[in-house]
């Protein structure tokens, strides 16, 4: 795990993404690939009688943002590179993600509706095998030496997320596998997940709680008790349409989680 892909765009979540990406790149002795996405110009045509079309073009804004960030990165002790793309956010990230081990995004922007970071993260998760790190817009960074919580449901997605996060889990001061409720049908037991980690030199505690509370609330409460620095979990195990109907944990965690999420599909 050496290649960290960062979505660059001047929005309210950019600073949090940047700090998280720098922390991860440094901890992994990796390379930071900055993907600067400039959305295609938007044209609003109200009709000739009401005046000329209104064009919203962010190219100048992003050029200034690029200059500022490159000056900052020049002072950071990390290897980095830069790529510019003009496209919608999710397709641009997916296109650039082939060589990425980790993709750093926001889980959601609470202070702004644009860009729709939850939708971007969801789309990237369903089209990439990389570990997606989704942070709150106020996240000051990621301390990978803090305890790590694994939100476990026994799914293939959860196991994939654990496999992808192994290099980071090895740096955690404590690892706890937490399962809310009975888990899925034909699920991998919590004990098997702990055994898998032990074979990679990681001792993991296990905890199972009854499923009488909402899953997201149970996970967040467990993370708070542990003092977790981040949460590892699988994402979108069912079709996106079914996820929307059922209000699944992956969607709700992207909306509400107070700590960084490390997710994989």
What domains, with CATH codes, occur in the chain?
3-43+56-136 (3.40.50.620), 148-264 (3.40.50.620)
State the pLDDT at residue 250: 82
What's the mean pLDDT when you consider all of the chain?
88
d(CA 160, CA 144): 19
Place 2 in a pLDDT band, splitting at 50, 70 and 90: very high
Place 45 in a pLDDT band, splitting at 50, 70 and 90: low
Go through 193-224 and write b for each residue having 16 or more CB atoms within 10 A of its CB, e for each that does not.
bbebbeeeebebebeeeeeeeebbebbbebbe
Q: Quick one: residue 49, left, alpha or beta (phi over 0 = left, psi -120 to 50 = alpha)?
A: alpha
Task: Name the pTM for this structure.
Answer: 0.90
pLDDT score of 97 more than 50: yes
Place 181 in a pLDDT band, splitting at 50, 70 and 90: confident
pLDDT tens for each residue of 104-128: 999 999 888 789 999 999 999 989 9
pLDDT score of 241 more than 50: no
Contacts of 186 (CB under 8 A, 6+ apart): 154
Place 228 in a pLDDT band, splitting at 50, 70 and 90: very high
Q: Which of 120-134, 142-156, 243-257 has the lowest mean pLDDT?
A: 243-257
């Amino acid at each position: 795990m050496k290649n960290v892909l960062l979505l660059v765009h001047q929005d309210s979540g950019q600073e949090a993404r940047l700090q998280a990406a720098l922390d991860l790149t440094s901890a992994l002795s990796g390379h930071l690939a900055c993907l600067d996405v400039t959305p295609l110009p938007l044209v609003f045509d109200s009709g000739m009688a009401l005046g000329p079309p209104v064009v919203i073009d962010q190219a100048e804004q992003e050029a200034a943002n690029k200059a500022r960030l490159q000056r900052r990165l020049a002072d950071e002790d990390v290897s980095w590179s830069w790529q510019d793309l003009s496209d919608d956010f999710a397709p641009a990230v997916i296109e650039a993600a082939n060589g990425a081990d980790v993709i750093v995004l926001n889980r959601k922007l609470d202070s702004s509706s644009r860009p729709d970071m939850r939708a971007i993260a969801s789309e990237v998760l369903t089209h990439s095998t990389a570990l997606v790190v989704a942070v709150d817009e106020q996240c000051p960074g990621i301390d990978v030496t803090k305890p790590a919580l694994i939100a476990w449901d026994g799914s293939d997605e959860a196991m994939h997320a654990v496999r992808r996060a192994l290099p980071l889990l090895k740096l955690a001061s404590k690892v706890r596998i937490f399962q809310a409720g009975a888990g899925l049908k034909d699920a991998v037991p919590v004990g098997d997940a702990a055994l898998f980690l032990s074979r990679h030199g990681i001792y993991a505690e296990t905890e199972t709680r009854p499923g009488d509370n909402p899953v997201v609330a149970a996970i967040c409460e467990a993370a708070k008790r542990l003092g977790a620095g981040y949460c590892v979990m699988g994402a979108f195990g069912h079709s996106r349409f079914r996820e929307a109907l059922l209000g699944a944990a992956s969607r709700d965690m992207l909306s509400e989680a107070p700590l960084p999420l490390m997710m994989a599909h």
